[in-house]
Structure formats: C-alpha cells, structure tokens
Amino acid sequence: MDSIAILDFGSQYAQIIARRVREAQVYCELFPWDTPMEKILAIQPKGFILSGGPRSAYEDGAPYVQDFIFKTGLPILGICYGMQALTYALGGQVDPSAQREYGYAEIEALVSSPLVSSLSTVWMSHGDRITKLPDGFVALAGSGNSPFAAMGDMKRKYFGVQFHPEVHHTPNGEKLLKHFVVEICGVKPNWTPASIIEDSVSRIRKQVGTERVLAAVSGGVDSSVAAALVHKAIGDQLVAVFVDTGLLRENEGEQVASAFREHLGAELLTVEASDEFFSALKGVTEPEAKRKIVGEKFIRVFEGQAKQLGQPKFLVQGTIYPDVVESSAPDRNKAERIKTHHNVGGLPEDIQFELVEPLRYLFKDEVRAVGEALGLPESLVWRQPFPGPGLTVRCLGEVTRERASRLRAADAILLEELSKAGFLGKRGSSSSSTGPGSTICQANRTAARTVSQAFVVLLPVRSVGVMGDQRTYQEAVAIRAVTTEDFMTADWARLPHDLLARVANRIVNEVDGINRVVYDITSKPPATIEWE
Ligand code: XMP
C-alpha cells in the first residue's frame, strides 16, 4: 500500500497530521524525527511530512531533517518547525520573531498554487520565522507577520507552511494535506475500511496459520473490533473469552455476547469469576491498590482459562495506534503519560503468547469504521469508554458485591434516562481531533444534546435523609456526564434540570441504600473524568 512518512519533531499536533492524512484515505505512519533510515524506508513512503516542534532549528542539538530524506528525491512538506528545519537544512535563514505569533492569521496567496489556493484563515503558533528562503524556493503565500507563510520549490517538490493545516482552526487545511499527499506525492487514496479489513485478514491468516487464537473481550470497542477482525480471518480457530469480574455495568456480558452471536456468528465464552474478584478486594480502599488487585486477578483468571483451553499459541490484543505512538514519541507532553496508569488491566510481558494486534496501526475512528464495516452493532462500536478496572474506579471506598450492585443499578438508571432523552449514541462519542486547548471547551459546549461519557459514582459518604416519615442514613452517589472530543480535556454536560431531577428521583426510589444524588460540575482539567 502506498504510504506517507510523517516525522515527529515533538509537536502536540503530530498525531493530528496523521489523522488528517488517513482521512484523505492515504496510509501514513508517524516516526520520531531521528528514526533510522531503514525503519522509515521500510514502509516505502512516497513523500514526507515534517511536523511542528517546540525547538529552534538553529539551536545546538535541535532536531534536524536527516540527510537520507533529501537523497530519496521524494516530495517533502514541512509544517511550522518542519518548514524551519527544512529551510535551515537547505541553506535558508531562520531567526527569532520579535513576537511569538499564536492564533488566527489571514494569508494571501502570492502565486497561483493549488496547495494554498483554498486557504485564507490559518492557525499560527510559532516563535521563529524564516527570513531568507533557501535557493530554488519561492514564497507561495504571505501574512502580515510572516512574509513566507508558505513556500515551495516546484522542481524538487519541497514545500513548507508556517501555519498548521492539520488543526480545525485552519479551514480547508485538510485540503492542503490531501493535495500534497494525493497530487504532489501521487499516492492513491485507497485506505478505506474495506481495504483495511482485507489487508488485516490476510496478515492474520499468514501470522497464525492453523493455530488456535485466544481473545479477551472486555466489551470495549478495541477488544471487540480486534476479536471481530480475527474471527473474520480465521473463524472458529478463535476462542473469545469474556471474564465476568462482577465489576461490569448492567447487562454488559449479555450485550457483548449477543452482539457477537447475532452480528458475527461467533460464540463468546463467559467465565464467571466475580467471587474471586470480590474476595481479593475485601477491605481494600486505596485506589491504586484496588486497581492493582483487579489487574493481577484478571491475569490469573485469564491464565487459568488459557490452560483449560489447551494453551493456545496466540493472543489477540486491541492495541491501537495512539498507544504505539505515545510509547515512542519524543518527549513532548507529559500530560499524555497520565494515561499509562490506564493500562492496568493489561497482560504482563512474560505471558506465554505470541500477540496478534490487528489494530496496531489504526486510530480510534478507524477502529470504529472497521467495526461498523464488519457488521458490529452501533451499540458496541459507539460504546462509551469503560475503565479496565471496571466499576472499581467508580466505587469509592471498599468494593463489595453489595456496593457494586448498588452502583450498577444507579448507573443503569442514568444511562436509561439519558438514552431515552437522546443524549447517548454515535454523535456523543465523537472522537474527531482537537485544536489547541483553549478552544476545546468551546467545541465541547457545542456538542449540545450529546454526552460523550456518563456514569454514576458511588461515594463512601453517608448522610441523613428522610423517606416517608423515616430518618435514613445512607450512601450518596454523584452523576458524572461530560462532553469531550478526545477525553484528554472535557467539560461537564449541561443536562436539563428536568432530566437530572428524574434520574435523582428514580435512583433514590429504586435503589436500596442511596438517599442522596449530586451532580459533578467540574471540567477536566482541573478534575479528571473518573473520580477514583
Ligand atoms: P480520566 O479519569 O483520566 O479518564 O479523565 C480519561 C478517560 O479514560 C478512561 N479511563 C480508563 N480507561 N482504564 C481504561 O481503560 C482505566 O484504568 C481508566 N481510567 C480512566 C475514562 O473512563 C475516561 O474516558
């Protein structure tokens, strides 16, 4: 498959560039800027995109464009720092600007070029600027602050833009990227769900041959789509296992099992292990300790299951591309590392399996598109994220069977009411990319009648209430409902008061042991989505 190599110079937008290129149905991969030549050329790129980055191209030790890239003779597009690094490498001049330029800017085309002809408003974020173009280049567009807002060397097919075409704040920016990859690099736009499935199926068949393959399905999108892909490739050689930890949402196991049976014609083996989980969690209240216990228990139960099944050689994992990229990216944004603690439910490295990772090169929206193309139901493909350690992170204090049931019942009421009122579903789970932080909240707010994630948290707090003529002294729950595009930042959902009233009323009336309901009105940051 034709592809594009994107070199990451430490930009917070590097993944977004990759997503825009994929949206143009062109396969691309992201590499840290200093990745060895063999690794980059192994994907046989037909062009390079150089990302932005926080450094100055003229500083000692600054990331640079490796020489082999020029030697390939392939087209290059430099974005922001990428343009400056390109300029610097080719003998142009890069200097500090008098003032950092951040925000919207208007550009004007200086020559007729299809690369920039559809753009006028663009998003800038740079401290340095180009003061002299390298030989062979002409200015394609200028702005008040940047005389060289875009540059090109038509002969060598080298281009640079000072702004960020990949962010939503640059209207039509995606057209620039598409023009570069399709017209200038000549890549055929054939990266579609159908081609992804075809490619994966043949890879999986080649990898596993006639061996049996085990998959742990959690009800999450990734593990379900990964298992569905493997099932399409090898049918009954796949054994999909669902571990009922007792820490799942209402009807979770049945829903996933019926989705598999009805839509894929595949059986899901359910392992009832809740006793083991609750006894291991007995008396434990510290959040990290609870996570660890669930993670370890899960592995033990799963290993036992594998043994009973005659120790299949292969194991399916739903690793997706952002996990892969984040573990190898240049040190850019510590905030992203916060997510490492989310992998608690993962499997240890020494486990005796060879991994099958059919989603390893897919972004979340591609995973969903593949899931839909495979015939998985919308309810599974557009499911809300659910933490690996399950209800443990939402059951504050000790997790007992009784408290988990209480939480599950309250949660089911919230989800039922939200669903009836049309707040759940596809639109609410949008995973399209984000622009700079300050505007994410605006985007979140415009997702008016949808929520991206909603759940109930059981608090280790009891308070006095009155029911009938009786004094009560029972637990409280918090409702958490957020809108977000990427779950890295989120805003609390402005749910209608009537809806909240209905939910609170039903919870207190229908769930034993809860006499108070509060609504969480903090955004992320400073709060997180889950409470723990
Ligand atoms: P926070 O709480 O960090 O969560 O704002 C961000 C998103 O990640 C989900 N989350 C988890 N997912 N294992 C997971 O698979 C976990 O341990 C975990 N903790 C949080 C959370 O539901 C939210 O969507």
Distance 406 CA to ligand 1 centre (A): 21
**Residue to mutate, 452, 487, 520, ligand 1, most ligand atoms under 8 Å from C-beta:** 487
Q: How far, in Å, is the centroid of ligand 1 from the Cα of 466?
A: 35
Q: Is 179 in the active site? A: no
The answer to whether the Cα torsion of 109, 113, 114, 116 is positive or negative is: negative
For the chain, the distance separating the N- and C-terminal CA atoms, rounded to the nearest angstrom, is 44
- The residue among 407, 460, 461, 524 whose CA lies nearest residue 286 is 460
Compute the C-alpha angle 382/244/511, nearest 5°: 80
Residue 484 Cα: closest atom of ligand 1 = 24
Q: What are the backbone angles phi and psi of residue 130, rounded to the nearest 5°? A: -90, 130
Compute the distance from residue 248 Cα to the ligand 1 centre, in Å. 15
Distance 506 CA to ligand 1 centre (A): 27
Nearest CA to ligand 1 atom 20: 387
If you take atom 14 of ligand 1, which residue's CA is the nearest one? 387
250 contacts 406 by C-beta, under 8 angstroms: no
Which portions of the chain are predicted below pLDDT 50? Answer: 332-345, 428-448
Q: Whose CA is nearest to atom 3 of ligand 1?
A: 528
Structure tokens at 305: 């299951």
Element (H, E) at 467: strand 453-467
Residue type, 432: S
DSSP output for 116-173 = TTT-SEEEEEEEEEEEEPPTT-EEEEEESS-TTSEEEETTTTEEEESS-TTSTTSTTH
Query: Strand pairing partners for 206?
Result: none
Which pLDDT score is estimated for 261?
A: 87
pLDDT score recorded for residue 331? 53
Contact in structure between 265 and 254 (CB atoms under 8 Å)? no
Q: Which numbered atom of ligand 1 lies nearest the CA of 530?
A: 2
pLDDT tens profile 405-456: 999 999 999 999 999 999 987 654 433 333 333 232 333 334 446 899 999 9
Q: Is 185 a catalytic residue?
A: no
Q: Which of 218, 529, 531 to mutate to test the pocket of ligand 1 (most atoms within 8 A of CB)?
A: 529
* Active-site option among 29, 166, 174, 485: 166
3-class DSSP string for 227-272: HHHHHHHHHHHEEEEEEECCCCCCCHHHHHHHHHHHHHCCCEEEEE
Catalytic residue among 28, 29, 80, 395: 80
Cβ 528 under 6 angstroms from ligand 1 = yes
Say if ligand 1 is within 6 A of residue 520 CB.
no
For position 132, what pLDDT does the model report?
A: 96
Place of tokens 């280790």: 460
What's 165-187 look like in SS3? CCCCCCCCHHHHHHHHHHHHCCC
DSSP secondary structure letters along 412-453: HHHHHHHHHTT-SSTGGG-------HHHHHHHHHH-TT--SE
Cβ density class 220-237: b for 16+ within 10 Å, e for less:
bbbbbbbbbbbbbbbeeb
Is 487's C-beta closer than 6 angstroms to any atom of ligand 1? yes
80 is catalytic: yes
Measuring from atom 10 of ligand 1, which residue has the nearest CA? Answer: 387
Ligand 1 centroid distance, CA of 319 (Å): 15
Radius of gyration of the chain measured on its C-alpha atoms: 26
Give the residue whose CA is nearest to atom 18 of ligand 1: 387
Give the residue from 17, 77, 65, 15 showing the smallest Cα distance to 329.
15
> Counting runs of H as helices and runs of E as strands, what totals does the chain give?
17, 18
- State how beta strands 138-143 and 121-132 pair: unpaired
CB distance 431 to ligand 1 below 6 Å: no
Q: How far is the CA of 393 from the centre of ligand 1 (A)?
A: 9
Handedness of CA 194, 196, 197, 201 (dihedral sign): positive
Question: Sign of dihedral through CA atoms 460, 461, 466, 472?
Answer: positive
Cα 387 to averaged position of ligand 1 atoms, centre (Å): 5
Q: Which of 217, 224, 342 to mutate to test the pocket of ligand 1 (most atoms within 8 A of CB)?
A: 342
Ligand 1 centroid–CA 513 distance in Å is 27
Given the structure tokens 């702004």, which residue do they identify? 163
> What does the alpha-carbon distance between residue 302 and residue 5 come to, in Å, rounded to a whole number?
38
Strands 150-153, 354-356: pairing is unpaired
Q: How far are the Cα atoms of 47, 60, 203 from residue 195, in angstroms, in the given order?
A: 21, 44, 12
- Ligand 1: atom nearest CA of 344 is 17
- CB atoms inside a 10 Å sphere around CB 296: 14
Among the options 28, 101, 164, 395, which is catalytic?
164
pLDDT for 434 equals 33
Q: Give pLDDT, residue 330.
A: 61
Q: How far apart are alpha carbons 364 and 220 in whole angstroms? A: 12
Beta strands at 453-467 and 354-356: parallel, antiparallel or unpaired: unpaired
